[in-house]
Amino acid sequence: MLQSLSTTFNVLLMIVGFGLVIVVHEFGHFAAARWAGVRVHTFAVGFGTAICTWRKGLGFRWGSSEKEYFRRLARDSHPEPGTRNTEPVPSPTEYRLNWFPFGGYVKMLGQEDLSPIPSLTASDSFAAKPVWKRMVIMSGGVAMNLVLAGVLFIVAYSYGIKEVAPIVGDVGPGTPAQIAGLRAGDRVISINGDEATTFNDLRLAAAMGSPKSPIKITVARDGEAEPITLEVTPRRGPDGMLQIGVAPAPAATLVPENELGDPALRAEYLRQLQDAGLGSVQPGMRLVSADGTAIPTDGTTPHNTPTANPLRAALESSNGAPVAAVFAGADNHQVEVSLTPQPELQTAQVKVGEEDYPARHLLGLVPVMRVASTTERAAKAGLRPGDVFARIGPVEWPSIAAGIAQVRAHKGKSLDLVVLRDGALISLTADVSRGGQIGFLTGDTSNTDTLIGFAKGLAPIARAPSDDAKSALITSADSSPFPASRLTPGLLPGSRIRAVAGTPVSNFRELREALKSATAAALAKNEPASVALTLELPIKDLSGAPRTEEIALPLANADIASLHALGWDGTQPILCFELAQFLDQATGPLDALNKGVAKTHYVVMMTYVTFLRLFQGTVPVDQLHGPVGITHIGSQVAERGLIYLIFFLGLISANLAVINFLPLPIVDGGHMVFLFIEWVTRKPVSAAVQNTAIIAGLLLVGTVFVVVTFNDLVRLFG
């Protein structure tokens, strides 16, 4: 109940803030018109009919006061004989609040939407003013939005805004960043020659880049005396945006308690801590040391913000041995835990639809997809954390890539599922959103079981690779990079590997170590090998007992070398930390002014680049937000505090300035184009041309509004 009230309040707060941005924009037109001596009929916030109005000489009214105003004018212009009117003359300007709050307008004498070239000759009409004054009036709204953005940014930076530090955390396998040589812990100094101050600079540079042109990223790296410059070429990610495949660095602090207010969210996070070996550590505790190395408590710049990267590095370099980590609470109470790294598996890039997706495997043996955590949507479908997928649609025992492919193939439809839970098979039906999601985070069985499954696009285990897979994944005419796919007949998805060369195994960690042990002699001699695998098949014999089978897995020299080159993965505990952030705060009023002006300029430039990339096709339309999406995001920002809402409204105000100055007939930029033509040709553009352009502009803006609103609703409820 309290959460619902809080959400409603934040939405209302955002609507009020958005209305303020619009009021300031329209006030810019209004003030410029009054300065130019133009009579203003209406100063309106919102569209549609009036909720209430105020007019000098008449006062406050529910609804519009126009009829009363014109009756008063008629009465005063034709007074009855012998009468004397002592009431003040009402103002021609009506200030009104309309029902639909996302918009606003100023209606001036001589500027009618349906008659762009009015015949009015009154000296205080818009049309009677020289072109340069009309240009000032048209640009007044944009100017005020830029001023407002600057002021809001100055206020925000005076108090300080938490930003994500420009430090690399995770680098995805097979991603452009990994291919280019970017590493976890790299501190990004500059991007294409411009200083990088936040991690968002890196994300935006990728999103606004080109798949044909590399981004130059200069980083500082521990152990290197001089900065290193790398060239990274972005490519499309799962959301359709260009990206390079990096995540921000984890802070040295676990997610704090105040960010886990929802009981379900807190319970899920505590389960995540338990799974990572951090069950005795409390939310919000700070990492003090990792493997005996002290972690700094504070940094002086964004680039040396304390992170948990040393813990990840210690886990990855431990050769599988446990690593001691010490945490401290607010009362300096310390807790020491022993963390064990997970075995690194091999990774291949496979196609899921049109997207490249990293798929984990071990010599072609692929762990089965399972549910790591659920949202409310997935929980309603009956899914629980730990469920293993026995079937998704027609695919049995799917890998993560195969499972995701099936879910996305059923966008906006229902999907039949069978999950393995506590030894029993359970049938479920889940509704897939229009965005291709059920509402759970994926995991696999590598840490808990030796279940092997079907891998779409990754040389399917149950059969020979398809022609498409061969062309993309086979390194030579007679050699597949996935030894398990060479078996004929193939391995049956849903099988469990129970032993390797007689050594029992129960998960992929033990499987990997047993395979390494069984091939150690062959590695030393640089020879191929054949390893005996004992399988438990997903079928039973006549007595009801599981059937077992022994097969020989042939391994080439390169397969064995690749197996022994695998290291260790320290990602699981790192996921429990919050993002590494720093407080971006001005040192004084002048610095706040500089930061505000710089941020306004940056947002304006990025907005124009976004439109350019939109037309080039590198930014998908479904990434745009309309009023519904803006309000939703703003309400979430408001939960972080008033300063963050002020900062967000500064972004909105700067964006509104850009959008209003685009050369579209329905917005201020379009009117400026007509005025410029009139200034050059010494005569106004014909009414027919202007009306046609206005109608086209209305259709374009209306179409964009419908599309972005639809996308907003899909994101919220799809």
Q: Compute φ and ψ for 355, nearest 5 degrees.
A: -105, 150
Beta bridge partners of 431: 414
CA distance 324 to 27: 61
User: Which of 201, 200, 199 has the alpha carbon at shortest distance from 186?
Assistant: 199
CA distance 509 to 522: 21
User: Which of 38, 27, 150, 50 has the alpha carbon at shortest distance from 651?
Assistant: 150
Dihedral angle at the C-alpha atoms of 166, 220, 208, 672, nearest 10 degrees? 80
Three-state SS at 238: coil
Q: Compute φ and ψ for 562, nearest 5 degrees.
A: -65, -40
Dihedral angle at the C-alpha atoms of 516, 519, 523, 528, nearest 10 degrees? -140
User: Which of 640, 712, 616, 604 has the alpha carbon at shortest distance from 146?
Assistant: 604
Query: Which DSSP symbol is given to 461?
Result: T
Q: Is the dihedral of CA 706, 708, 710, 712 positive or negative?
A: negative
- Answer yes or no: are the C-beta atoms of 510 and 448 closer than 8 Å: no
Q: What is the pLDDT of residues 403-420, one digit of tens each?
A: 888 898 898 899 999 999
- Answer yes or no: are the C-beta atoms of 182 and 170 closer than 8 Å: no
Q: CATH classification of 163-248 is 2.30.42.10, yes or no?
A: yes
CA distance 329 to 230: 39
Burial category of 654 from C-beta neighbours within 10 Å (exposed 0-12, middle 13-18, buried 19 and up): buried
CATH architecture, domain 251-343+572-579: Roll (2.30)
pLDDT along the chain (718 residues), means of 10: 55 76 88 90 87 89 86 70 66 87 78 52 82 90 90 90 89 85 91 89 85 90 89 81 87 86 79 88 92 82 85 91 92 90 84 70 89 85 91 90 87 91 91 85 86 61 31 33 71 89 92 94 92 88 80 90 90 90 87 87 78 68 62 64 84 84 81 86 81 75 65 58
The tokens describing 386, both together, are 């730990």
Q: What b/e string do you get for 242-256 counting C-beta neighbours within 10 Å, with b at 16 or more?
A: bbbbbbbbbbbbbbe
List % helix, strand, coil for the chain (3-state, nearest 5). 40, 25, 35
Three-state SS at 61: strand
Residue tagged 């972080």 (tokens): 640
Q: How many CB atoms are closer than 10 A to CB 319?
A: 8
CA dist list (Å): 481 to 274, 350, 475, 491, 560: 36, 13, 7, 16, 11
Q: Please give the pLDDT value at position 473.
A: 32
- Answer yes or no: are the C-beta atoms of 27 and 106 closer than 8 Å: no
Query: Which DSSP symbol is given to 126?
Result: G
The tokens describing 540, both together, are 């039973």
Q: Residue 714: CA atoms inside 13 Å, Cβ hemisphere, count?
A: 19
- Answer yes or no: are the C-beta atoms of 99 and 15 closer than 8 Å: no
Q: CATH classification of 359-563 is 2.30.42.10, yes or no?
A: yes
CA distance 142 to 139: 5
- Answer yes or no: are the C-beta atoms of 120 and 110 closer than 8 Å: yes
Q: Please give the pLDDT value at position 624.
A: 63
- Would you kindly state where each structural domain of the chain is located, as residue ranges? 120-159+596-717, 163-248, 251-343+572-579, 359-563
- DSSP count for the chain of H helices, then E strands: 18, 33
Identify the helix (H) or strand (E) that includes residue 424.
strand 424-431
Q: How many CB atoms are closer than 10 A to CB 650?
A: 26
Q: Could you tell me the pTM of the whole model?
A: 0.76
Burial category of 43 from C-beta neighbours within 10 Å (exposed 0-12, middle 13-18, buried 19 and up): buried
Q: Is the dihedral of CA 473, 479, 483, 485 positive or negative?
A: positive
How would you write 610-673 as a 3-class SS string? HHHHHHHCCCCHHHCCCHHHHHHHHHHHHCCCHHHHHHHHHHHHHHHHHHHCCCCCCCHHHHHH
Q: What b/e string do you get for 125-136 counting C-beta neighbours within 10 Å, with b at 16 or more?
A: bbbbbebebbbb
Mean of pLDDT over the chain: 81
- Answer yes or no: are the C-beta atoms of 638 and 649 closer than 8 Å: no
CA dist list (Å): 483 to 348, 450, 479, 550: 13, 17, 8, 16
The tokens describing 34, both together, are 């009054």
Q: How many CB atoms are closer than 10 A to CB 675?
A: 19
Q: Please give the pLDDT value at position 389.
A: 93
Beta bridge partners of 426: 419
Domains 163-248 and 251-343+572-579 share a fold: yes
Q: Please give the pLDDT value at position 485.
A: 72
Residue 192 CA from chain centroid, whole number: 23
Residue tagged 């976890």 (tokens): 184
Burial category of 115 from C-beta neighbours within 10 Å (exposed 0-12, middle 13-18, buried 19 and up): middle
Query: Which DSSP symbol is given to 478?
Result: T
CA dist list (Å): 331 to 163, 280, 580: 26, 16, 22
CA dist list (Å): 52 to 49, 65, 86, 101, 453: 9, 9, 26, 13, 65
